[in-house]
């Protein structure tokens, strides 16, 4: 699993133990791009398939709040990938991508951005769990390959009474998969995966710290666990579902320009090319996306 940070940089997260949801599958799609040979690994993690029924369901992208009233969040350590992207006032927001396992509950869930269309279209028509957006963003989501699974479309959300609005909207992945609307596809393999015996390329590096202006995010390599651990503003960032620090196997930083467009919010320009930093297995490699 990985953490992709889109900011001045982008990150994908996962790994560690999680409050995994059951492997309830949805009917197999008639998607013509679906492979006829059953995969032996989960496409978004590279780990061996343990439940073939899971391969018949779409990826599920959940937009997650990272404001002070939203911490700790549920779902990090169960997600196959987690993106971190800048939104208003240099605050970040996460997009947890679930496929091999799920999280019950997941949240708090917040609104989407125009940048989500290009970033998450790579998952081949994924379900998109979000709280909604302004007219411009909503139209863009509806016109995209993302399957709008917001509260206005499906009855799968609730308010957590121990938190204040807008930081208390939750759902669970089991229910979202069960209520999947038409139009979804199956995710394809994103990366080439190394085997456990492969030594990661690069120079030795203890991790990375990113200044988002409003706060710092830090990923530190733990050689004992073989995972990167997250801190925010110098404090361990916890996954509420597992009551443990957020961890991931890989951290990828994609450097992108941000512009404020018609939506009124900063949006990452993810079409083109740019600098990439890859942290894996306690090493660092510089590349391009």
- What DSSP string describes 10-41? EE----S---PPP----PPP--TTS-SSPPSB
190: its two tokens: 């994103």
How far apart CA 13 and CA 5 sit, in angstroms, is 9
Look at residue 30 in the predicted model and tell me its pLDDT.
41
| Structure confidence at residue 4 as a pLDDT band (50, 70, 90) | low
Q: Is the pLDDT of residue 202 over 60?
A: yes
pLDDT for residue 34 is more than 60: no
Is the pLDDT higher at 201 or at 61? 61
When pLDDT is averaged across residues 173-198 and rounded to a whole number, the result is 92
Q: What is the pLDDT of residues 213-262, one digit of tens each?
A: 878 899 999 999 999 999 999 999 999 988 899 999 999 999 999 888 77
Which has the closest alpha carbon to 266: 143, 147, 93? Answer: 93
- Buried b / exposed e across 42-64, counting CB within 10 Å, b at 16+? bbbbbeeeeeeebbebbbbbbbb
User: Which stretches of 130-269 are DSSP H helices?
Assistant: 135-142, 173-178
Among 11, 79, 77, CA closest to 42: 79
In this predicted structure, the answer to whether residue 195 has a pLDDT above a threshold of 80 is yes
Residues in contact with 139: Cβ distance below 8 Å, sequence separation at least 6, in sequence order: none
CB 56 within 8 A of CB 187: no
Burial class of residue 23, CB neighbours in 10 A (0-12, 13-18, 19+): middle
Query: Could you tell me where the DSSP H helices lie in 37-97?
Result: none
């Amino acid at each position: 699993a990985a953490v992709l940070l889109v900011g001045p940089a982008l990150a994908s997260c996962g790994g560690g133990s999680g409050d995994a949801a059951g492997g309830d599958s949805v009917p197999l799609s008639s998607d013509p791009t679906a492979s006829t040979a059953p995969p032996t690994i989960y496409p978004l993690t590279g780990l061996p398939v343990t439940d073939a029924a899971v391969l018949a369901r779409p990826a599920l992208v959940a937009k997650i709040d990272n404001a002070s009233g939203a911490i700790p969040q549920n779902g990090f350590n169960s997600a196959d990938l987690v993106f971190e992207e800048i939104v208003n006032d240099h605050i970040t927001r996460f997009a947890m991508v679930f496929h091999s396992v799920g999280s019950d509950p997941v949240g708090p869930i917040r609104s989407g951005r125009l940048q989500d269309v290009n970033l998450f279209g790579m998952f081949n028509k994924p379900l998109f769990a979000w709280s909604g957006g302004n007219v411009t963003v909503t139209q863009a989501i509806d016109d995209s390959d993302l399957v709008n699974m917001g509260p206005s479309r499906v009855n799968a959300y609730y308010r957590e009474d121990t938190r204040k609005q807008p930081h208390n909207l939750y759902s669970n992945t089991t229910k979202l998969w069960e209520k999947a609307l038409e139009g979804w596809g199956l995710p394809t393999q994103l990366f080439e995966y190394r085997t456990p015996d492969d030594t990661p390329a690069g120079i030795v590096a203890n991790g990375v710290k990113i200044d988002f202006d409003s706060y710092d995010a830090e990923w530190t390599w733990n050689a004992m666990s073989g995972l990167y651990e997250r801190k925010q503003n110098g404090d361990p960032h916890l996954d509420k579902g597992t009551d443990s620090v957020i961890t991931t196997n890989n951290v990828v930083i994609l450097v992108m320009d941000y512009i404020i467009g018609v939506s009124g919010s900063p949006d990452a320009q993810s079409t083109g090319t740019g600098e990439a930093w890859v942290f894996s297995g306690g090493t660092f490699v510089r590349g391009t996306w």
